Amino acid sequence: MCGGLRAVNDLTRGRFVEALSTNLLVVAALVAAAGGLLWWGARRAAGTGGEPFPLPADRRALGIGLPLVVLAFGVARWLPLFAWAAP
């Protein structure tokens, strides 16, 4: 089982510290997605909501930036300074 699945498993069992230790990036993505959905739901309830996740006008930034963040996270986990982020 990969670190992402272990992190989700830890979250569903209420073990938040273990989930952060298993895969910080997955936990951060889940928190961001939940926050975005709550924000969108509040806007929809107020009658001002549109798309749930409006994409930037220049989608190349998202297409380049997201893989770079994932790659940087993967490489940083190998470094001694970020050993706490390794599963």
Structure confidence at residue 68 (pLDDT): 92
Q: Measured between alpha carbons, how far is 17 from 26 in angstroms, rounded to an integer?
A: 13
Residue 19 burial by Cβ neighbours in a 10 Å radius (0-12, 13-18, 19+): buried
Q: Determine contact, residues 54/42, Cβ cutoff 8 Å.
A: no
Q: How many domains does the chain have?
A: 1
Task: Say what the pLDDT of residue 63 is.
Answer: 79
Would you say the pTM of this structure is higher than 0.75? no
Segments forming the whole domain that contains residue 70? 3-85
The predicted pLDDT at position 15 comes to 92
Is residue 45 over pLDDT 60? yes
d(CA 68, CA 70): 5
Q: Give the span between the Cα atoms of 65 and 59, in whole angstroms.
A: 10
